Amino acid sequence: MIRVSALSKRFGDKVAVDDVSFAAAAGSITYLLGPNGAGKSTVMRMIAGLTAPNSGTVRVNERPLRELGDTMREVRFNLDTFARNPRHTARQHLSWQARLGGIPVREVGEVLDRVGLSEVGNRLVGRFSLGMSQRLGIASALLGDPRTIVLDEPDNGLDVDGVLWLRELLTGLANQGRTLLVASHNLTEVEITADRIVIMGRGRILSDADREETLALGSGPRRLESAYLTVTRGSVEYAGGVK
């Protein structure tokens, strides 16, 4: 489980995250939605301990991140698809993470197979396509078989088959009782797989409800899209004009 309580973060004069509270429960997929600049990535970086909040707390599986005994078995992240050495192979990239976290290196082959990269495990990641890089990032998040998984736009760059594979992976993990927190702009997949939907705008929580409650805010054939636009109206910082 992930519990975020009254989390705030400023960068100079800019308030990036303002008094944000929500929870992602075990056995479910919680989506974090919002326009560009809403504060989603900053929240995820604070959950991961990469950015220090100005105020507020984060609990993962009921404890602060630094107090987790076996961190890689408790929680894993994929927040930056391209945070890797392009001169490493996929197997090398995952192997150093395994050694760093005390995970048996044999699990590297298992996660490569799970994400469909076993045949290219010895290829340099600098030669990977965007979709392959995304799968490698997901493999990193699965390494250690963690109870809690946090993913930032995991379907970015995946083809249709990849999106369907990811759908089955996420729902399967949730059915095993794991906690999943996912930031996404793919409202179609969110509508299909979400258990709970948290919508942010300008650093604040605009809506925090289960899937059906969120869909009830919309209308028409694309209810989540309609609900999202209704909730985020007035919170889009980077809107372009149409002539």
Q: Are residues 48 and 85 in the same domain?
A: no
Q: Which stretches within the chain are classed as H helix?
A: 40-47, 71-74, 90-101, 106-114, 130-142, 160-175, 187-193, 211-215, 223-232
Judged against a pLDDT cut of 60, whether residue 243 lies above it is answered with no
Residue 66 lies inside a defined structural domain of this protein: no
> Would you state the pLDDT for residue 71?
87
Judged against a pLDDT cut of 90, whether residue 118 lies above it is answered with yes
Alpha-carbon distance 76 to 149, whole Å?
A: 5
Residue 40 lies inside a defined structural domain of this protein: yes
Backbone torsions φ then ψ of 28, nearest 5 degrees: -150, 165
Q: Are residues 152 and 230 in the same domain?
A: yes
pLDDT band at 238 (very low <50, low <70, confident <90, very high): low
Residue 71 lies inside a defined structural domain of this protein: no
Residue 72 lies inside a defined structural domain of this protein: no
pLDDT (tens digit per residue) in 142-189: 999 999 999 999 999 899 999 999 999 999 999 999 999 999 999 999
**Average pLDDT score over the chain:** 93
Beta strand 28-33 with 148-152 is: unpaired
Q: Are residues 51 and 98 in the same domain?
A: no
The domain total for the chain is 2
Residue 204 lies inside a defined structural domain of this protein: yes
Is there a contact between 80 and 74 (Cβ–Cβ < 8 Å)? no
pLDDT (tens digit per residue) in 8-34: 999 999 999 999 999 999 999 999 999
pLDDT (tens digit per residue) in 44-91: 999 999 999 999 999 999 999 889 888 889 999 999 766 778 899 999
Q: From residue 103, give the alpha-carbon distance in Å to each of 1, 21, 73, 89, 163.
A: 22, 32, 9, 18, 28
- Please name which of 83, 72, 79, 71 lies closest in space to residue 108, comparing C-alpha atoms: 72
Burial 128-147 (b: 16+ CB within 10 A, else e): beebbbbbbbbbbbbbbebb
Q: Are residues 19 and 42 in the same domain?
A: yes
Backbone torsions φ then ψ of 68, nearest 5 degrees: -70, 135
CATH assignment at residue 195:
3.40.50.300
Q: Are residues 152 and 131 in the same domain?
A: no
Alpha-carbon distance 109 to 139, whole Å?
A: 10
Residue 70 lies inside a defined structural domain of this protein: no
Backbone torsions φ then ψ of 158, nearest 5 degrees: -80, 145
Judged against a pLDDT cut of 90, whether residue 107 lies above it is answered with yes
Backbone torsions φ then ψ of 19, nearest 5 degrees: 55, 55
Alpha-carbon distance 93 to 100, whole Å?
A: 11
Q: Are residues 153 and 135 in the same domain?
A: no
Q: Are residues 133 and 153 in the same domain?
A: no
Q: Is the pTM of this model over 0.85?
A: yes
Alpha-carbon distance 62 to 4, whole Å?
A: 11
Q: From residue 212, give the alpha-carbon distance in Å to each of 94, 177, 242.
A: 38, 21, 33
- Please name which of 238, 243, 31 lies closest in space to residue 153, comparing C-alpha atoms: 31
Q: Are residues 170 and 229 in the same domain?
A: yes
Q: Are residues 57 and 173 in the same domain?
A: yes
Q: What is the arithmetic mean of pLDDT over 224-229?
A: 96
Q: Are residues 170 and 232 in the same domain?
A: yes
Is there a contact between 68 and 75 (Cβ–Cβ < 8 Å)? yes
Which structural domain range is residue 10 located in?
Answer: 1-61+148-157+166-243
